Structure 1
Amino acid sequence: MAKQNIVVVGAGYAGVSATKFLAKKLKKNSDVQITLIDRHSYHTMMTELHEIAGGRVEPHAVQYDLQHLFSRQKNVNLVTDTVIGIDKENKVVNTKNGQYPFDHVILGMGGEPNDFGTPGVKENGFTLWSFEDALKIREHIEATVAKAAIEPDPEVRKAMLTFVVCGSGFTGIEMIGELIDWKDRLAKDNKLDPSEFTLMVVEAVPTILNMLTRNDAAKAERYLAQKNVTLLVNSPIVEVAPDHIKLKDGSDVPTHTLIWTAGVKATSDAADFGLESARGQRLVANEYMQAKGYEDKNIYVIGDLVYYEEFPNTPTPQIVQAAEQTGHTAAANIVSSIKGGEKHKFKGNYQGFMVSIGSKWGVASLFDKIHLSGFLAIIMKHIVNLKYFFDIRSGYYMFQYLMHEFFHIKDDRNVARGHSSRYGNVLWSVPLRVFYGLVWLVESGKKIIGDGEVFKPSTWFGDGSWFKGDSVFPWTWEYNVTDAASGASEAAGAADAATAASGAADAAASGAGDAVAQTAHFGLSYAYGEEPMVVIEKSPNWFTKVMQFIMPNNDVAMFFQKFMVFFEIALALALIAGLFTWLSSATTIVLVITFCMSGMFYWVNIWFIFAAFALMNGSGRAVGLDRWVIPWLQRTLGKWWYGTAKSLYGQK
């Protein structure tokens, strides 16, 4: 069979989703080659561009390298180039630097801002539709505020500190939300009063956020009012000048910053492809996402570029959900064409809409039944974004998203209001880390020394150690432990607990059956003369069965017992040295929980768990080996798994 060439143009939401689907479904077809062409070497998370423009996260937070996304898909060839045309008869995609023959082609170049011919938008306004746009807005705002801070003319100063967003769709409202959060930082850095800033949304129609219900949109309006955002509806902009905008009613709004988010149209790159177009220059497709009039040429159109009427006069919306679903439809039909099977008709399934107004507040409508606002809406948006990374099978960027949104954040600009930020000095946790490691080292040492002498190694590994006698675990078989505390004496890991329990064990060994039993006392610190209380008196039956399955006899149990001693020593040394501190601390938590479930851990030592959590804050990067080892591992493993990132792909 002749080799089948599939070309996907555009690495947006639609193009990435389609390519991922094709790569998975056709990975066993060695005669199929998939080529993904984009003008950039990265995929941009367009829905988060406002976070870059509004100074919340660093620029690279929304850039996802294509080689990282497709490193394991060997049937995908990445090309960094600009498509300039399609030879439909000869079935060739032409780029600035080459030609790519195709048996099937998917066009997903996306859209671009639509200024509706408004004078001055291109020259004096800012759009928010690309990574470059977001950076341009960010840099302009920072520079404009800095200039305003030293501007003596109060009228000019007021205009410079007036920021106007045109359009009250999701992009516009999310952009103004970022400015709400950012203005305090901008004011502080430039010695200004936040009250000097004016934030404004200008909308041509009577309502805002028209994808939401009116009740949800009203919640957003009230929140904007609380944040002193001026909302002008029924106010079309007819002209944009460098220092003001002119409204249809003849009034002017002095401003040096107009961010235009009022409309979207298909990318102008596709205008010369010779395919039928409709409103907003979008290319017309049938229910299989095939370009109208060229169904026999296997040309598919997806994402913001496609015009397919799901209902009369209602084309697919230009949103992420529609982009992914049109991409899947086109890809599924290509798979059916190659492998055989029925065609798949497009059927939109829009599960809801969400809009964030800043980092801490939002509005969400899910399944037309669930309506959320505030904190819960933002949480839901994060969940949806994380699901996207799961859908495209990128655990790496899922982790990076969590870092950027929750941990590598400044000025409390996240849903946790900064409480999860790791921008704190971890130097002061070093003494706790070293002390915690020493505790584990001392207690594991006791299990080696037993009844021997510390400075006489020849007496180690004898009586009282974990290396002689029967297993100390309470579920062992040939050795009946009648008192859980006696086993705990050697596993608890604290000197006071060991002393109390060993006393009980000595009494039992001497046959003092009539010895006065001392009642265990609950306490979070040891009191002299009191026997500490174990966290769980008796191991739960289900846990005992699991342990007996893992350790079916005493010999296996003894092996685990001896191994555990050396494992604890390794953990202790890692903590002291600050090596793999996060993993080491997490492991100690698991061990303590296991000891608790075994009836072998005391309340007085429950602080082990909380100390371990405290050390998971990156404490090994201060006066510890993690400062060098972790970055080295990230570089080495990243290069091994993903290869070396490049600015251009597919160049010979």
Structure 2
Amino acid sequence: MAQKNIVVIGAGFAGVYATKKLARKLKHNNDVTITLIDKHSYFTYMTELHEIAANRVAEDAIQYDLHRLFGRRKNVNLVTDTVTTIDRDQHLVKTKHGAYPYDYVILGIGSEPNDFGTPGVKEHGFTLGSWESAIQLKQHITDVVRRGAVEHDPKKRQALLSIVVVGSGFTGTETIGELRDWRDQLAKENKLDPEEIKFSLMEMAPTIMNMLDRSDAAKAEKYMQKRGIAVMKNTGVVGVHEDHVDLKDGSTFPTATLIWTAGVKASDQAAQFGLTQGRGGRIAVNAQMQSQDDDQIYVVGDVSYFAGNSDRGEPQIVQGAEASAQTALSNIIKQINGQAADVAYKASYSGFMVSLGSRYGVANLMGIFHLSGFFAMLMKHLVNMLYFVQIFSGYYLFQYVMHEFFRTQNDRNLMRGHLSRQGNVLWAVPSRIFLGAMWLVDCAYKVSGKESWFVDKLRLPFSWLQPAATSGASAAGADTTSAATGAAASGAADTATTAAKSVFSLSYQYGKDPMMVFDQMPHWMYSITKVLIPNQQVAFFMQKSMTIIEILIGLALVAGLFTWVSGGVSVMFTLIFCLSGMFYWVNIWMIPMAIAVMNGSGRAFGLDKWVVPYLQKVFGKWWYGQPQSLYGQDTVK
């Protein structure tokens, strides 16, 4: 087969999805090379821009380095450059710094905000169409609230502390909800009454959130109004100034912060390629996602215009981007294999989810299930995480979970801050050291002397290893070849004897015998244990190995080294001891304590403060390579 080159232009939702899928499906075809070109060295999770603008997550939380996404894919070349044109005669994708031959192009350059030429939006307004614009908006809001807090003139103060969002689509409602979450912290930092910071959502139509079922939209509107957000319907903005906006009815509204989210259009770059454009500047495609002008150029995501289902084109949402990318890559694979490109686009929208801050949202799943509040937000997070599963990125799936649940501040997450790791881990240090010392002290007698577990003398109380000896702890370990009634009677007698001697408690009681968690090993545990430890030789090895591991756990916890792993192993060992009939209720505290120390307690007065970041750096570089600002031919070596 002759060498085939696939060039993907744009590392957005559709471009990354298509590149990941192609790389995986064609990984054994050495005759195919995939080149991904983007002006940035990272993929921006565009649907979460409002979280950056409203200071909920770190600024880099929605930036995913392309090398970390594709570093293990040997059939993918990354290029950081700006595409200028597609030379269809010479089959070249030309950039500012190079040119790349192609047999097939996947064009996914996305969309940008559409202000419909409204005067003043570009000069005095803000949009959310890029990572840079989100940072700019966050900095602006921080500045105007700070200025408003010390402004003596009432009119100027009102304008500075008034935030307006125009448009009640996904971006507008999610933005104003997230900004409202930020309000109290902004007020606290600037010594303001939170009620002074005002939020207004302006919508030209008589209803808001028109992509949703009316009942879901009504819930969202009620929630916003409850939180003090002014929902202004039938309100058109016709002009934007530094300290106010002009409304369609001839009145003005004071604000120094107008965020325009009232529409999107194809990226202006779409006009550079000489391809037929449709509504909103989007490039017209057929059902196979091929440009109407060139069947070797596939157009995907927000920039594609397919009128087969609606004259408005397909919704410019992530689900549409994925569906169009899947159609394009399926057809390209068929063409590479000498087959006809006959896979037609199939719209598949499982539902719509809109967040109104970090804790509340509304969702419509498959037109059947209507969710609100906690469950709607949970579903939104699950859908976001599903994307990382689809593009095979466990690393960024983990990072998403950490940013959204464990690294947030001021309780701004779905679990209201209860999972946040921003708390001071210093106070978990005594627990960590005590738990480690417990392992070491309890292992002391196992290392030497008459009770040593390093001599070939059986210490494990399992009946099949020493048939002559039985006990309450090992009675259930007896072979079940005897009659069931006999076993039951024996077990009942043992239980009655144990119950007479032992007392349930979570602390030692003077003069009382503590109760075991399991006085008899469960049958399923018995079966597993007998397979793993079938004879005394294996038992001797297991005794020595377990003792060594317990000592290592103790040392690691005391030193604060690999605390998460050590805590997890502590939990696992404790559970095994419980199920083996070798553990008391009064010692069950070890499980919650071990879980508690897993929350980074080794980062305070522990070696994890230095060791874990070092290992992350070393292994991250080994597995993913070194992230760079530029990829491709123009990379500075």
Shorter-normalised TM-score: what interval? over 0.9
Distance in 2 between residues matched to 1:516 and 1:606, nearest whole Å:
19
Distance in 1 between residues matched to 2:293 and 2:36, nearest whole Å:
24
Stretches of structure 2 that go unaligned for 5 or more consecutive residues are 477-496
Q: Which residue of 2 aligns with 1:148?
A: 148
2:347 aligns to what SS in structure 1? Answer: coil
Alpha-carbon distance, 1:552 to partner: 2.4
Q: Which residue of 2 aligns with 1:40?
A: 40
Answer yes or no: is the 8 Å Cα contact 1:448–1:467 preserved in 2: no
Matched, 1:416 2:398: no
Q: Which residue of 2 aligns with 1:559?
A: 541
Q: Which residue of 2 aligns with 1:529?
A: 511
1:59 aligns to what SS in structure 2? Answer: coil
Alpha-carbon distance, 1:340 to partner: 3.8
Alpha-carbon distance, 1:76 to partner: 0.3
Alpha-carbon distance, 1:477 to partner: 3.2
Answer yes or no: is the 8 Å Cα contact 2:445–2:451 preserved in 1: no
Alpha-carbon distance, 1:584 to partner: 0.2
Q: Which residue of 1 aligns with 2:632?
A: 650
2:5 aligns to what SS in structure 1? Answer: strand
2:239 aligns to what SS in structure 1? Answer: strand
Q: Which residue of 1 aligns with 2:173?
A: 173
Distance in 1 between residues matched to 2:475 and 2:514, nearest whole Å:
14
TM-score scaled to structure 2, two decimals?
0.94
Distance in 1 between residues matched to 2:338 and 2:202, nearest whole Å:
52
2:579 to 585, 589, 597: 597
Answer yes or no: is the 8 Å Cα contact 2:473–2:520 preserved in 1: no
1:62–1:534 Cα change, 3 Å: same
Answer yes or no: is the 8 Å Cα contact 1:475–1:544 preserved in 2: no
Q: Which residue of 1 aligns with 2:403?
A: 404
Alpha-carbon distance, 1:309 to partner: 2.0
Alpha-carbon distance, 1:426 to partner: 1.3
Alpha-carbon distance, 1:487 to partner: 10
Q: Which residue of 2 aligns with 1:339?
A: 337
Alpha-carbon distance, 1:69 to partner: 0.4
2:60 aligns to what SS in structure 1? Answer: helix
1:481–1:518 Cα change, 3 Å: farther
Answer yes or no: is the 8 Å Cα contact 2:202–2:236 preserved in 1: yes
Distance in 2 between residues matched to 1:434 and 1:42, nearest whole Å:
41
Alpha-carbon distance, 1:26 to partner: 0.6
1:624 to 591, 606, 609: 606
Answer yes or no: is the 8 Å Cα contact 2:557–2:563 preserved in 1: yes
Distance in 1 between residues matched to 2:526 and 2:473, nearest whole Å:
16
Answer yes or no: is the 8 Å Cα contact 1:476–1:557 preserved in 2: no
Stretches of structure 1 that go unaligned for 5 or more consecutive residues are 450-459, 489-514
Answer yes or no: is the 8 Å Cα contact 2:474–2:521 preserved in 1: no
Q: Which residue of 2 aligns with 1:187?
A: 187
2:530 aligns to what SS in structure 1? Answer: helix
Answer yes or no: is the 8 Å Cα contact 2:453–2:543 preserved in 1: no
The letter for the 1-side match of 2:117 is G
Q: Which residue of 2 aligns with 1:269?
A: 269
1:163 aligns to what SS in structure 2? Answer: strand
Alpha-carbon distance, 1:556 to partner: 1.0
Distance in 2 between residues matched to 1:229 and 1:476, nearest whole Å:
71
2:7 aligns to what SS in structure 1? Answer: strand
Q: Which residue of 2 aligns with 1:445?
A: 444
Alpha-carbon distance, 1:310 to partner: 3.8
Answer yes or no: is the 8 Å Cα contact 1:470–1:479 preserved in 2: no
Q: Which residue of 2 aligns with 1:452?
A: none
Question: What are the equivalent positions in structure 2 for 1:473-484 lying under 5 Å apart?
Answer: 473-474=461-462, 476-484=464-472
1:182–1:393 Cα change, 3 Å: same
Q: Which residue of 2 aligns with 1:388?
A: 387
2:290 aligns to what SS in structure 1? Answer: coil
Distance in 1 between residues matched to 2:420 and 2:365, nearest whole Å:
29
Distance in 2 between residues matched to 1:304 and 1:273, nearest whole Å:
16
Q: Which residue of 1 aligns with 2:245?
A: 245
1:29–1:142 Cα change, 3 Å: same
Answer yes or no: is the 8 Å Cα contact 2:279–2:312 preserved in 1: no
The letter for the 2-side match of 1:539 is M
Answer yes or no: is the 8 Å Cα contact 1:6–1:105 preserved in 2: yes
1:548 to 515, 526, 530: 530
Q: Which residue of 2 aligns with 1:224?
A: 224
What per-residue deviation string (whole Å, max 9, x for no partner) do you get for residues 436-495 of structure 1? Answer: 11111111122233xxxxxxxxxx2x356463422514254344542144899xxxxxxx
Answer yes or no: is the 8 Å Cα contact 2:290–2:297 preserved in 1: yes
1:235–1:604 Cα change, 3 Å: same
1:211 aligns to what SS in structure 2? Answer: coil
Distance in 2 between residues matched to 1:523 and 1:405, nearest whole Å:
39
Matched, 1:538 2:538: no
Alpha-carbon distance, 1:169 to partner: 0.3
Q: Which residue of 2 aligns with 1:457?
A: none
TM-score scaled to structure 1, two decimals?
0.92
Alpha-carbon distance, 1:205 to partner: 0.9
The letter for the 2-side match of 1:115 is D
Distance in 2 between residues matched to 1:227 and 1:518, nearest whole Å:
60
Answer yes or no: is the 8 Å Cα contact 1:70–1:76 preserved in 2: yes
Q: Which residue of 2 aligns with 1:493?
A: none
Distance in 2 between residues matched to 1:313 and 1:447, nearest whole Å:
78
Q: Which residue of 1 aligns with 2:56?
A: 56
Answer yes or no: is the 8 Å Cα contact 2:148–2:157 preserved in 1: yes
Alpha-carbon distance, 1:554 to partner: 2.1
Distance in 2 between residues matched to 1:312 and 1:431, nearest whole Å:
64
The letter for the 2-side match of 1:345 is A
Alpha-carbon distance, 1:337 to partner: 0.7
1:477–1:165 Cα change, 3 Å: same
- The alignment yields a C-alpha RMSD, in angstroms, of 1.7
1:444–1:486 Cα change, 3 Å: farther
Question: What are the equivalent positions in structure 2 for 1:186-335 lying under 5 Å apart?
Answer: 186-295=186-295, 298-335=296-333
Question: Which moved further from structure 2: 229-238 or 16-25?
Answer: 229-238
1:463–1:172 Cα change, 3 Å: closer
Distance in 2 between residues matched to 1:584 and 1:156, nearest whole Å:
58
Distance in 2 between residues matched to 1:341 and 1:598, nearest whole Å:
61
What per-residue deviation string (whole Å, max 9, x for no partner) do you get for residues 164-198 of structure 1? Answer: 00000010000001111111111111111111111
What per-residue deviation string (whole Å, max 9, x for no partner) do you get for residues 280-307 of structure 1? Answer: 0000001110000212xx1000000000
Answer yes or no: is the 8 Å Cα contact 2:81–2:97 preserved in 1: yes
Q: Which residue of 2 aligns with 1:495?
A: none
Alpha-carbon distance, 1:332 to partner: 1.0
1:178–1:362 Cα change, 3 Å: same
1:486–1:529 Cα change, 3 Å: farther
Distance in 1 between residues matched to 2:468 and 2:606, nearest whole Å:
44
The letter for the 1-side match of 2:433 is V
1:608–1:478 Cα change, 3 Å: same
The letter for the 1-side match of 2:391 is I
Answer yes or no: is the 8 Å Cα contact 1:352–1:367 preserved in 2: yes
Answer yes or no: is the 8 Å Cα contact 2:266–2:302 preserved in 1: yes
Q: Which residue of 1 aligns with 2:2?
A: 2
Matched, 1:569 2:551: yes
1:159–1:516 Cα change, 3 Å: closer
Distance in 2 between residues matched to 1:475 and 1:334, nearest whole Å:
64
Distance in 2 between residues matched to 1:464 and 1:521, nearest whole Å:
30
> Identity across aligned pairs (percent)?
54
Distance in 2 between residues matched to 1:341 and 1:209, nearest whole Å:
44
The letter for the 2-side match of 1:585 is G
Question: Which moved further from structure 2: 516-525 or 222-231?
Answer: 516-525
Distance in 1 between residues matched to 2:395 and 2:310, nearest whole Å:
42
Answer yes or no: is the 8 Å Cα contact 1:7–1:35 preserved in 2: yes
What per-residue deviation string (whole Å, max 9, x for no partner) do you get for residues 224-244 of structure 1? Answer: 110111111111111111111
Distance in 2 between residues matched to 1:616 and 1:346, nearest whole Å:
47
2:554 aligns to what SS in structure 1? Answer: helix
Distance in 2 between residues matched to 1:72 and 1:125, nearest whole Å:
42
How many corresponding residue pairs?
A: 613
Q: Which residue of 1 aligns with 2:479?
A: none
Q: Which residue of 1 aligns with 2:617?
A: 635
Alpha-carbon distance, 1:91 to partner: 1.3
Q: Which residue of 1 aligns with 2:483?
A: none
Distance in 1 between residues matched to 2:390 and 2:68, nearest whole Å:
15
Answer yes or no: is the 8 Å Cα contact 1:61–1:401 preserved in 2: yes
1:582 to 551, 554, 564: 564
Q: Which residue of 2 aligns with 1:348?
A: 347
Distance in 2 between residues matched to 1:214 and 1:516, nearest whole Å:
64
